[in-house]
Chains A and B, each alone.
Chain A
Amino acid sequence: MVGVLASGVRLAVPILLAALGEIFSERAGILNIGIEGEMLVGALAGFLGTFYTHHVGLGFLIGMGASGVFSLIMGFITITLKEDQVITGIILNILALGLTSFVYRALFGTSRTPPSIKPLTPLKIPALGDIPYLGTILFHQNPLVYLAFLLVPVSAWILFKTQFGLNLRAVGEHPRAADTLGVPVERMRYIAVMLGGIFSGLGGCFLTLAQLNRFTDNITAGRGFIAIAAVIFGKWNPYGVAVATLLFGIADGLQLRLQALGTRLPYQFLLMLPYLLTIVALIGIVGKSKPPAALAVPYQKDN
């Protein structure tokens, strides 16, 4: 059970990072379905960065940078050209899938022994790590795990306690009013989309640099979509989203364990859980918590 929970926490991290990014994006009114693709780009770029520079830290930076740049495509088409966000997001996912697979194959071919990198090693936090059970679950993890969970209160603080966060939310709730008050709507949305890209890229990097040590086609396997689900489930609030991703992560860990044990219980149903829960949450939550009012609506300055 301790093992399941510990792996659950670890499995939650990439989803959590992407979901935090998606909160910024959605709070500013951009429904970014392309984060799955942004994660993929981050995963590959982070891997390549580490592979060629032999430095995990640089790898992370390169991964985040690449997905940040990639997210600019989303920004340009939905914010500047005001095209539909859903379409653009889907297209970006397809583009990222093709691009990452193409680049990987072009660089490494189809070798039997896939190239791998030296991963980030777990870091035991001195005193806390010795607490029985809890220590293993929470304080014997990758440094990035701590960073991800630290980013939860930080994101909440940025969103709800700073002027920047207020402006960002205003842009997602009522862009016209924000514009009238002098908030640069388009610029805020660009920043939010970029933040989404950078966070997703970090989440993607986590997969290649901390979990699997290598890149495979479609390595994200729908985690970006689960992140979108987690955002809804967590009501566009970083804390809620953290809880939601932990639930998803633990379900995933449980599923892996069950698969390894070879139980008769079909693991596919456990895998379905996050998706089913999201639909149920959507039905139950409506009325109590609403998405940002201007979500997925392009802003058109009237003149």
Chain B
Amino acid sequence: MKKPVEKNAGKNRKVQEWRRERSLLFLYSPLLSFFLGILLAFLLSSLLISWVGASPLLAFKALILGAFGSLNGFTETLVKATPLMLTGLGLCVAFRSKVWNIGAEGQIHLGALATTLMGIYLPWFPSFISLPLTGLAGFFAGGLWAAIPGWLKIRWGVNEIITTLMMNYIAILGINYAVHVPLKEPGGFLPQSALIQPSVELPILVERTRLHAGILLGIAGAGALHILLARTTLGYQIQVVGLNPDAGRYSGIPVGKIILIAMVLSGGFAGLAGMGEIAGVHHRLLENFSPGYGYTAIVVALLAHLKPLAVILVSMLFAALIVGADTMQRVAGVPNSLVLIIESLIVLFVLGSRSLFHVRYPLLFVKDNEHKTTDGKLRIS
């Protein structure tokens, strides 16, 4: 406070120089680290591929052709991208407010349950009434499931990481029970519910494929959330709560309410993903209908830098990996679990290179208060 003026001026000039230099890195590094991560992940996994005695080039060719090489492959990629996209979008909202919602998997299950109940018990309406109603039900089922840990957090300060994680298991076990007992198809043998009525099914976009209208919901949702986060007061408040809840509180932002809204939105989108899976793909509730979409979506949201529009692309990339990996397994004999390895390696390398680009530089002048926010935690923008 009472430091000599000249000294500060000199320091400020230096800081400004640094900042100019660094701004270039800030501009390039998210994309740079993203591609670097992908490159390194593929390099490392080609080692694994050669270890199982396959040719990495052939394997990757099979992966790409499997995901994009045919109409069936490409639409299947979009089908898998839909739940990742919807769930990832919701997580962008929660993570921006620094609420660690790890419970998307459970919220997807709740959305699926609500959709099934609507599909079985809703009296017949034309689709244009049934579908929106079902969508709302899915959204609110997921949203309410997410609101519980949100409420526990603001009411008692209970750590949401643990509660959302625990609630995943509760939801999955609940669905497991539902398809075994109360919702089990009458007279059926398998643990699955009866088929939902056709008026609740999402329309198929390309004939003879499984591509359903859910993807449109995802793209529209991305646009809506982009506007919400970038242009509205609520979006700004979510951002502030994420960066510094205390500052938010002092400036009159109802922090608790914002956290709750963020949770409901993120759970709601996960619920929509569950709705898409039942109304668009399976048309009935069954166990293991989600192969961990809720967890992969966390990775998707993070790699997209919590930007809704980027979620569209990243979710397609990950879906392509999932679909391509099956082809790779068939054609090149590479176990499809490789895709999990590639996914996680991409993120690990992105995290690593991001640290190199972002954290090291602010470290050089940590006394400059502005940089305290770039403390190596999840970057918001």
Contact A95 B376 (CB under 8 A): no
Residues of A with C-beta under 8 A to B48: 102, 106
Bound-complex Cα distance A106 to B104 (A)? 31
Bound-complex Cα distance A99 to B41 (A)? 13
Contact B344 A286 (CB under 8 A): no
Assuming the contacts A225-B169, A266-B181, A283-B158, asked whether A272 and B174 have C-beta atoms less than 8 A apart, the reply is: yes
Which residue on chain B has the smallest CB distance to residue A222? B169
A240 within 8 A of B: no
Which residue on chain A has the smallest CB distance to residue B356? A81
Residues of B with C-beta under 8 A to A84: 377-378
Contact A106 B51 (CB under 8 A): yes
B314 within 8 A of A: no
Bound-complex Cα distance A22 to B23 (A)? 40
How many whole Å from B193's CB to the nearest CB in chain A? 15
Residues of B with C-beta under 8 A to A180: none
B176 within 8 A of A: yes
Contact B166 A101 (CB under 8 A): no
Residues of A with C-beta under 8 A to B375: 82, 298, 300
Contact A275 B377 (CB under 8 A): no
Bound-complex Cα distance A102 to B165 (A)? 25
Bound-complex Cα distance A97 to B51 (A)? 18
| Size bin of chain B's contact surface | 35 or more
Bound-complex Cα distance A105 to B335 (A)? 7
Residues of A with C-beta under 8 A to B166: 225, 229, 275-276, 278-279
Contact A282 B298 (CB under 8 A): no
Contact B337 A282 (CB under 8 A): no
| Chain A, range 70-87, C-beta contacts under 8 Å to B | 73, 77, 81-84, 86-87
Assuming the contacts A97-B340, A98-B341, asked whether A279 and B299 have C-beta atoms less than 8 A apart, the reply is: no
Residues of B with C-beta under 8 A to A263: none
Contact of B176 among A87, A229, A268 (CB under 8 A): A268
Residues of A with C-beta under 8 A to B344: 91-92, 94-95, 98
Which residue on chain B has the smallest CB distance to residue A278? B166
Kindly specify which of B80-88, B223-231, B346-354 makes contact with the partner chain.
B346-354
B177 within 8 A of A: yes
Which residue on chain A has the smallest CB distance to residue B166? A275
Contact A279 B341 (CB under 8 A): no
Bound-complex Cα distance A254 to B206 (A)? 50
Residues of B with C-beta under 8 A to A90: 102, 295, 298-299
A228 within 8 A of B: yes
How many whole Å from B190's CB to the nearest CB in chain A? 17
B380 within 8 A of A: no
Contact of B341 among A31, A81, A95 (CB under 8 A): A95
Contact B338 A73 (CB under 8 A): no
Contact B359 A98 (CB under 8 A): no
Residues of A with C-beta under 8 A to B337: 97-99, 101-102, 105, 217
B157 within 8 A of A: yes
Residues of B with C-beta under 8 A to A93: 295
Contact of A86 among B102, B177, B345 (CB under 8 A): B102
Contact A282 B159 (CB under 8 A): yes
Contact A86 B355 (CB under 8 A): no
Chain A 54-73 interface 0/1 with B at a Cβ cutoff of 8 Å (1 = within): 00000000000000000001
Contact B173 A86 (CB under 8 A): no
Assuming the contacts A91-B347, A97-B337, A102-B337, asked whether A269 and B355 have C-beta atoms less than 8 A apart, the reply is: no
Which residue on chain B has the smallest CB distance to residue A295? B159
| Chain A, range 254-277, C-beta contacts under 8 Å to B | 266, 268-269, 271-272, 275-276
Chain A 5-38 interface 0/1 with B at a Cβ cutoff of 8 Å (1 = within): 0000000000000000000000000010100000
Bound-complex Cα distance A276 to B162 (A)? 11
Bound-complex Cα distance A88 to B351 (A)? 9
A232 within 8 A of B: yes
Residues of B with C-beta under 8 A to A87: 298, 302, 347, 351, 378
Bound-complex Cα distance A65 to B121 (A)? 54
A303 within 8 A of B: yes
Bound-complex Cα distance A271 to B173 (A)? 8
| Chain A, range 83-141, C-beta contacts under 8 Å to B | 83-84, 86-88, 90-95, 97-99, 101-102, 105-106
Bound-complex Cα distance A101 to B342 (A)? 13
B196 within 8 A of A: no
Residues of A with C-beta under 8 A to B348: 73, 77, 88, 91, 95
Bound-complex Cα distance A114 to B24 (A)? 55
16 A-B residue pairings within 8 Å (CB atoms): A77-B352, A87-B302, A90-B299, A91-B347, A92-B344, A98-B339, A225-B165, A266-B177, A268-B176, A268-B177, A268-B180, A272-B169, A272-B170, A282-B158, A283-B152, A291-B159
Which B residues have a C-beta under 8 Å from some C-beta of A? 48, 51-52, 100, 102, 152, 156-159, 161-163, 165-167, 169-170, 173-174, 176-177, 180-181, 295-296, 298-299, 302, 335, 337-345, 347-348, 351-352, 354-355, 359, 363, 366, 375-378
Which A residues have a C-beta under 8 Å from some C-beta of B? 31, 33, 73, 77, 81-84, 86-88, 90-95, 97-99, 101-102, 105-106, 217, 222, 225, 228-229, 232, 266, 268-269, 271-272, 275-276, 278-279, 282-283, 286, 291, 298, 300, 302-303
Known: A82-B376, A106-B48, A282-B162. 8 other contacts (CB 8 A): A81-B376, A91-B348, A91-B351, A92-B344, A98-B341, A102-B48, A266-B181, A300-B375
The 3 A-B pairs at the shortest CB distance, nearest first, are namely A98-B340, A95-B344, A101-B337
